[in-house]
Amino acid sequence: MKIRGIPYRTIWLNEDGWRVNVIDQTKLPHEFSTITLSSDHDVAHAIRTMIVRGAPLIGAAAAFGICLAMREDASNSSLITTCKLLSRTRPTAVNLHRTLNDMKTALMNVSERERVATAYTLANDICLTDIKTNQAIGEHGFEVLRKLYTNKPPDTPLNILTHCNAGWLATVDWGTATAPMYSAHNAGLPIHVWVDETRPRNQGSALTAFELAQHGVPHTVIVDNAGGHLMQNGEIDLCLVGTDRTTASGDVANKIGTYLKALAAKDNNIPFYVALPSSTIDWSITDDINEIPIEERSKEEVMYVSGRDEEGRLAKIQVTPDGSNTANYAFDVTPARLITGLITERGMTEPSAEGLATLFPEHVTQDHRTI
């Protein structure tokens, strides 16, 4: 995708061929800057502080974190230590842990002198696969949007509600939930996106709105609790969100507040779709939504808001009274029964073990359990 007309990915190799450049997403939308990461500790800090965020991008960043660690020390102990360091940064996103396991397994099977080159090859493959996957999600999702648009009156846009940022800034490129939107917009299908601000970090108003604006997609930023009202008044045709972890039975862990949107959509007979790469499916979790670890982030994210003041300076403002306790749950789980369909790189399916098994039969054993 583009920023000010210039093509970017969210992560790419520095011109020196080994360090890693990323967009500093904590500065958006008011300032665009990039950061160069030189070590696995730099990568861990970038993930933990949400300089990079979004399940697919976190996985790609972790892969390059291993690359940087192998340049310093390609031993088994270094590899294991780096994987432990990175795994502790964000517990909910399954891409992180799958990438670390896959990278560790692959690198343990090659000699130490081969590990640096092998690691960079694997990390680059992860990025290219992510882009192809998201483009495919966009194509399948576009068909969903196109069919829904046929029910609209002439000369009216298809109104989509999205929550948080499942855009290209959360992936290497294209995004998951935004990929169908970009495909529709590029094809000339009239759409309008309602963008939840997504407190407390405001990934919707800061990131989703930013990237939609850069691509020219009509959108409106709304407060998090406005969605139900808009649904009741016929202003929303569908909800389309992403996911950080999906169970083998179709339950979805996404940014806090997603569950409430799904409940409101169900009550108003509005379809609720989730766009996801198969890399975010945790095949080890089947029935119990409580098995998904829910990250609790710093209380300061609730206590303060950041933005640009009247003089154009970036500022951090306290909004809670001194002495008030705060809690900051980063994700919630939306049960499969509230979801209309899962849009993946292999097509759309119902949110169920049977539906996912149909698209991804390689994850089903002979006794019909997922693996």
pLDDT of residue 365: 65
pLDDT tens digit string along 160-173?
A: 999 999 999 999 99
Q: Is a pLDDT exceeding 90 seen at residue 368?
A: no
pLDDT of residue 92: 82
Catalytic residues: 244
pLDDT tens digit string along 59-89?
A: 999 999 999 999 999 999 999 999 999 999 9
Residue ranges of domains in the chain: 2-128, 142-363
pLDDT of residue 288: 65
pLDDT of residue 290: 80
Cα(225)–Cα(215) distance, rounded to whole angstroms? Answer: 26
pLDDT of residue 367: 42
pLDDT tens digit string along 307-320?
A: 999 999 989 999 99
Q: Is a pLDDT exceeding 60 seen at residue 58?
A: yes
Pick the residue with more confidence: 124 or 293? 124
> 135 with 19: CB under 8 angstroms?
no
CA distances, 33 to each of 25, 28, 65, 111, 306 (Å)? 8, 8, 20, 38, 17
Q: Is a pLDDT exceeding 90 seen at residue 370?
A: no
pLDDT of residue 369: 52
pLDDT of residue 93: 77
Q: Specify the residue for token string 């500093």.
A: 24
> What is the percent of the chain where pLDDT is above 70?
98
pLDDT tens digit string along 178-202?
A: 999 999 999 999 999 999 999 999 9
Number of H helices, E strands in the chain: 12, 18
For residue 289, the 8-state DSSP code is G
Q: Of 3.30.9.10, 3.40.50.1010, 3.40.50.720, 1.20.120.420, which CATH number belongs to 2-128?
A: 1.20.120.420
Average pLDDT score, the chain:
95
Pick the residue with more confidence: 302 or 364? 302
In this structure, CATH architecture of domain 142-363 = 3-Layer(aba) Sandwich (3.40)
**Model pTM score:** 0.94
CA distances, 26 to each of 48, 181, 188, 206 (Å)? 12, 24, 32, 9
CA distance between the termini of the chain: 34
pLDDT tens digit string along 41-54?
A: 999 999 999 999 99
> 183 with 142: CB under 8 angstroms?
yes
What would you report as the CA-atom Rg of the chain, rounded to the nearest whole angstrom?
20
What mean pLDDT comes out for the span 277-281?
Answer: 94
1 band by pLDDT with thresholds 50, 70 and 90? confident
> What is the percent of the chain where pLDDT is above 90?
91
